[in-house]
Structure 1
Amino acid sequence: MNRWLPRLIFGHICLHACMAGMRMAAPLLALTQGYSPLAVGVLMALFALTQVFLALPAGRYADRHGLRRPVGLAVTAAVSGTLLAAVFPIFPVLCLAALCAGGATGAASIALQRQVGRSARDAAELKRMFSWLSIGPAFSNFLGPLLAGLLIDHVGVWLGGRPGDLQGYRAAFLFAALLPLVTWLCVRRAPQRRSAAAPTTGSRRAWDLLREPQMRRLMLVNWLLSACWDVHTFVMPVLGHERGFSASTIGTLLGAFAISAAAVRLLMPWLAARLREWMVMAGAMLATAVLFLAYPFMPGAWSMGLCSVLLGLVLGSVQPLIMSTLHQITPHDRHGEALGLRLLTLNASSVAMPLMFGSVGAVVGVSLVFWTVGVAVGWGSRAAWGLKSVAQPRSVSSL
């Protein structure tokens, strides 16, 4: 498996960069076309909507079929949706592309994460491999928005138009459509890791996993920290648009957040050997609360960039430890199902929260969104302290 890990990481980067670029370019195009923050909130929510319905079936499908078939279907969906957006860059098609790109990325991520988790030999290797795998989404959150922003600003000029015209957006969407094809080239020969026997869905339900108190605590921690990613991804472009920043500047700010999240994950194997998971999670939640309270007071692009970098460092440190903890407290034959449950709960909130962000931002301004989520994540740090007992790998096979 170790020789396949770089290919899986690169494939993860390309597919996730497709969605990350779309999540920056599509809302900016909608704003340019005169749509309100509420409409942009609806568009952003659609990136998560498909994942709500596909997460559990995708997890069970990965348990039955391994890696290649789920990823192949995801690549087909992502390419189809983004190509439609390049040909027809209008709001309804952007919504369809958001559904396709979001669902494809979620389903493929479950299969990739399950493949890595089932290949680890012990808890230490589990943390190390998830630390490396988690670099993929973090780096793609830098690559996708940055390249999309550059294409939006410059392709129109190269073709005789102006910065930020429709041709630039078409180029960004076309670039996003090519990335999933690279993902398929990376994984099409990877070894399969199916479960020995398919789960009997009639006698076991995914929600039974939540009977375990530690699973409930972990899901709450993961949901709050994921909400912080959603807030930054949604609110920062709106805030930058209000302050007159260019698409390249907004893409760079999002990219600074993502690259710092990727950089800190390079240190996670070393940190994980010296710090307990619950300590890192609780500290990250408290630090995020402080940064969210300060973010709206930043006066310009440089200060906002500093906050973005610090947020990336803090939030980027927790996902490998969350994934490692999830595999430690989940039965071996239900890893895909547990990953699907995690994705379902996260994306259910990702559907609702951008709608709420857009509604609140349209009425009272986006600063209140930062402050509200900052208070919530600070309060939720108590749940991370409750994960102290997850010290050694254990099973919840009694579920």
Structure 2
Amino acid sequence: MGFELARLIAGQIFLHACMAGMRMAAPLMALREGYSEAAVGVLLALFALTQVFLALPAGRYADRQGVRRPLALSVAVATAGAGAAAAFPIFPVLCLSALMVGGATGVASIALQRHVGRAASGATQLRQVFSWLAIGPALSNFLGPFLAGLLIDHTGFRIAFFAMALLPLATWFWVRRTRELPPVAAPPGARRGAAWDLLAQPQFRRLMLVNWLLSSCWDVHTFVVPVLGHQRGLSASVIGTLLGAFALAATFVRIAMPLLAARLQEWKVITVAMAATALLFVVYPLVPTAWAMGLCSVLLGLALGSVQPMIMSTLHQTTPEHRHGEALGLRLMAINGSSVVMPILFGVAGAAVGVAGVFWSVGALVAGGTRLALRMKPAD
């Protein structure tokens, strides 16, 4: 599975880098054109809006079709979305691009996660493969914003958007020969209920709440750092580097985790990450320099980067195999439903109480949520 997994990770990097770069460049262009923080919040929310409606159908589609068809569709839509922003770099088109690129990335993510989870066997291998797979978004969260920031500073927004449109084409180069796994039939007598039936499981319910809290922290960092950097007069390259430092730290911890998978326990990793994140959210808005902001971004990347492999491993252990795609879709719908609402709230709150208030409010929620993570400890 080693080479196959490497190709899937490579493909994921380029598609996700397209979205990460667009999420940095589009709000920055809107700010420079004089749009308010609230408008930027709406723009960021649109990257998640399509995924809210597509997540469950995409999960069921992946359960039926496998991995290649969803990925081919995602590549086409992401390329068209970023290309539209390059051709017509105006706010309404940026909103359309956000819908298209965000939706495409979500569909691809579900298909890839389902495929990799099914190919793994046992809890330790689940932790390993999801740690490796999580390296993709972490690297792309560096590649996309860093590349976009450099291009914006040296060539302008139009060329930056055009470069983002080319990235998904590399995805198809890597994943086009992926071998499909045999379809999974439902066990005899199993009833296909509504996706919400999965929430009847207490462990799955707690997992969704913890995942929502921690995904909100990613949204806070993505939204607040460009705003805070703009307020402090930092260049696009520096802002992109701050976001990239966060991503590199998340990559580093995810590279280390497969080597330690046999010694890790999901609930312990998640609890420590939540406590560390809450503390860093108190400190971040108080630091005065770009270097100090970079250190906070690195520490946040280490904490939040460790979480997704543990979430995905737990999800695959607590849901039926024939409904993995559906469970992944429900998870993505929940966190992206939050990502639609939260940036708008962040924008309104940032205008009302400042970015420090946004950091501290979310940090308090995460601190309170550590109790949920403690209750995810498996029964002896």
**Taking structure 2 as the reference length, what is the TM-score of the superposition?**
0.97
Matched positions, count: 379
Q: Does 1:368 align with 2:350?
A: no
Partner of 2:345: 356
| Change beyond 3 A, Cα 1:201–1:234 | farther
How far apart are 1:390 and its partner, in Å? Answer: 6.8
1:291 to 266, 280, 301: 280
Pairing 1:84-103 to 2, within 5 Å after superposition:
84-103=84-103
Q: How does 1:74-93 map to 2 (within 5 A)?
A: 74-93=74-93
TM-score, normalization by structure 1: 0.93
| 2:319 aligned with 1:326 | no
> Aligned letter for 1:9?
I
The structure that is helix-richer by fraction is 2
1:204 CA drift (Å): 1.1
Partner of residue 216, structure 1? 205
- Give the deviation of 1:123 after TM superposition: 1.5
5 Å-filtered alignment, 1:29-48, equals 29-48=29-48
Q: How far did 1:121 drift?
A: 1.9
Structure 2: distance between partners of 1:388 and 1:181: 42
Q: Which residue of 2 aligns with 1:191?
A: 179
Paired amino acid for 1:85 = A
Which stretch of structure 1 is more off in the superposition, 171-180 or 187-196?
187-196
What residue identity is the alignment partner of 1:210? L
Which position in structure 2 is the counterpart of 1:302?
Answer: 291
| Counterparts of 1:242 and 1:289, CA distance in 2 | 23
Unpaired runs of 5+ residues, structure 1, are 156-167, 392-399
Quote the Cα distance in structure 1 between the aligned partners of 2:371 and 2:186.
37
For the pair 1:207 / 2:196, whether they are aligned, the reply is yes
Conserved? CA contact 1:256–1:305, under 8 Å: yes
User: How far apart are the structure 2 equivalents of 1:64 and 1:388?
Assistant: 33
State the distance in 2 between where 1:173 and 1:373 align: 31
- Identify the match of residue 182 of structure 1 among 146, 159, 170: 170
Q: In angstroms, what is the RMSD of aligned CA positions? A: 1.5
Quote the Cα distance in structure 1 between the aligned partners of 2:103 and 2:191: 25
Paired residue secondary structure (2:263)? coil
Superposed counterparts of 1:246-265, under 5 Å: 246-265=235-254
Match of 2:269 in 1: 280
Structure 2 CA distance for aligned equivalents of residues 55 and 206 of structure 1: 11
Partners in 2 of 1:277 and 1:38 — Cα distance? 37
* Aligned match of 1:396: none
Q: Distance in 1 between matches of 2:120 and 2:191?
A: 29
1:41-56 equivalences under 5 Å are: 41-56=41-56
* CA shift in 2, pair 1:198/1:50, >3 Å: farther
Q: Deviations over 1:243-299 (max 9, x none)?
A: 000000000000000000000011112333223111110011001000001110010
Q: Is contact 1:65-1:194 (8 Å) kept?
A: no
| Aligned-partner Cα distance in 2 for 1:86–1:59 | 30
Q: Is the 8 A contact 2:184 2:321 kept in 1?
A: no
2:131 counterpart of 1:109: no
Partner of 1:165: none
Deviation at 1:363, TM superposition (A): 1.5
Report the Cα offset of residue 96 of structure 1. 0.3
**Secondary structure, aligned partner of 1:89:** coil
For structure 1, which segment, 216-225 or 185-194, has the greater mean C-alpha deviation from structure 2 after superposition?
185-194
Percent of matched pairs sharing the same residue: 68
Report the counterpart of residue 154 of structure 1 in structure 2.
Answer: 154
